[in-house]
Structure 1
Amino acid sequence: MSITRKLAGTVAGLAAIALLAGCAGGNAGDAADDKGSEANPVKIGVVGASDPQWTSFTEAAKAEDISIEIVDFAQYEQPNPALTAGEIDLNQFQHIVYLGEYNQSAGEDLTPIGATAIYPLGLYSTQYDSVDAIPEGSTVAVSSDPSNQARGLLVLQSAGLIELTGGGSIFSGLDEVDTAASKVKVTELEPSLTATSLPDVAAAVINNDFITDAGLSADDAIAQDDPSDPNALPYVNVFAAKAEDKDNETYLKLVQIFQDSTAVQDDLVETSGGTAVLLKTPVADLEESLATVQADIAESE
């Protein structure tokens, strides 16, 4: 089954559930006006509802007289179709690239209404303690997974180790490495092997899931995504809403609460193992990045 058909089927099923719920719920206009009350909480879809920041967030919202309900999903493929179908009001689990891919494949227009954090992708080495120390002509490894490979190549470019033709994009591959203009050679490995390859390469871009395999922590990275680099913007995690709800005052207030609550932010960093870089990226920048991502996806199809 193609991902488009799979998403379409999921959306259809959730839409039917939402329709039945609407029939039993009374006046829709009254419900909308009362959104955020105890009787009609804002439903926010997440993956990992047991993470401590959601308890802190619920308490912080309640202090501002907004009731929320955290709706847990087991798989990343579920929260966007649920939002499209009206099963939930917002979701917070994805970065802009993922959101753009969903919109393009499902023909939807979900939109970011606020940033939360970026989880940097790091470059690690057991032989060199800085990027500058990596010798010219040495080999650096990146993941063979296409989405992670593109992001890894952008990390290497930001670190000054390679040059990508055209400046690079979320679809960049090894064929875009300008070898004549690059300091190092790049090889690809299975994601799980990037960490264990460190004795054999000068450095490797390693996903957070695998850095412990090399006896490393996120603090050991000699380079990583720079949240201020435009190339990193598509990997910022966001709150997403239906396009028609992007100016909803209650939803925007919840984003502000999430971003301003010390307890929520501390718990988010703790959940990430200290890797999360907290952000308050302007919504206009998020929307522009999403539009660019979707245009790039459409062009590549």
Structure 2
Amino acid sequence: MKRIVSIVVLLTVFTVLLSGCAAKEDKKLVVGASVTPHAEILGIAKEILSEKGYELEIVEYSDYVQPNLALDAGDLDANYFQHQPYLDQFSEERGLDLKSVAIIHYEPIGIYPGKTASIDALPDGAQITVPNDATNEARALLLLEAQGLITIADGAGLDATINDIVENPKNLEIVEIEAAQLARSLEDVDLAVINGNVAIQAGLNVATDSIAFEEKDSVAAETYGNIIAVKSGDEDRDDIKALIEALKSDKVRDFINDTYEGAVVPKF
């Protein structure tokens, strides 16, 4: 009889310990992010979440593919690196069921000088590099159009590619390359249209180093806000809500404004 009681007690203790471990694990969030500025911003949110009893693990990525695949596979609870059009396109192409739960910030895309210092000095046949992913390529082309360098076919809009260029008076050679390589291309080309986070990583600030950039009240600013993405069905989790609340705090807003000086713009 005593042996049976002892076994019951041990099982009860074991169950309690397991419950405690599960509860502890439930308080841990794993979020994938681009190194700059996303992981840096999450670093401030981590401090806030810690005060609420949550542990935030930040996994850094240098590409735009793996964070969504890892989220879909369940390796991440959320990711923070992309805008809605990219998420929509990627999810459709890969058959993923991912969802945006919050818009945190906006990164203006800019035109940066390489071998040519200004748009007015751009020679005929000049080379300009743009991102090769569809959504950011359209942004780049629209920005070039806004500077009078090219004309894009009516209706192409945010789906524009180089095939939609209908006028190119300077016979510009527009070269599509991976976003992460854009800043490195500057020494070899006349101009480069560079994503906000890539520019920041390269030590460039769109407000001071670019020769043209998307305005904060533009259609692009409203369309390309950087989001928190989760697997569909996870949007009502308490830890995800706590993450969003931390990222939309005054402390994070002040960090963004003070650190990036216009290169990253809070959207809350």
Q: d(CA) in 1 for partners of 2:238 and 2:34?
A: 26
Relative to 1, partners in 2 of residues 1:66 and 1:113: Cα closer, same or farther, differing over 3 Å? farther
Q: 1:195 is matched with which residue: 186, 190, 203?
A: 186
Offset of 1:258 from its aligned partner?
0.8
| Structure 2: tracts of 5 or more residues without a match | 1-16
Residue 93 of structure 1, aligned match among 81, 85, 88: 81
The number of equivalent residue pairs is 238
Amino acid paired to 1:246: E
How far apart are the structure 2 equivalents of 1:44 and 1:234? 26
RMSD over equivalenced CA pairs, Å: 4.1
Equivalent position of 2:266 in the other structure: 278
Classify the secondary structure of the residue corresponding to 1:275.
coil
Compared with structure 1, are the counterparts of its residues 135 and 264 closer, same or farther at alpha carbon in structure 2 (3 Å cutoff)?
Answer: closer
The question of whether the paired residues in 1 share the 8 Å contact of 2:30 and 2:76 is answered with yes
- Counterpart code for 2:251: T
Q: Are positions 1:124 and 2:115 aligned together?
A: no
- Of 55, 59, 62, which residue of structure 2 is paired with 1:68? 55
Structure with bigger gyration radius? 2
Q: Which residue of 2 aligns with 1:257?
A: 246
Q: 1:136 to 1:187 in 2, by over 3 A?
A: closer
Aligned to 1:176: 164
SS at match of 2:41: helix
Q: CA deviation at 1:72?
A: 1.5
2:69 is matched with which residue: 81, 94, 97? 81
Change (3 A) 1:153 1:243: same
Q: Name 1:103's counterpart in structure 2.
A: 91
The alpha-carbon deviation at position 152 of structure 1 amounts to 1.2
Secondary structure of 2:71's counterpart equals: helix
Provide closer, same or farther for how the CA distance between residues 48 and 211 of structure 1 changes in structure 2, counting only shifts above 3 A: closer
**1:228 maps to which of 200, 214, 217:** 217
Separation in 2, partners of 1:140, 1:262: 42
More strand by share: 2
Change (3 A) 1:143 1:71: closer
**In the alignment, what sits opposite 1:46?**
32
Amino acid at match of 1:187: E
Which sits farther off after the overlay, 204-213 or 165-174?
Answer: 204-213
2:13 is matched with none
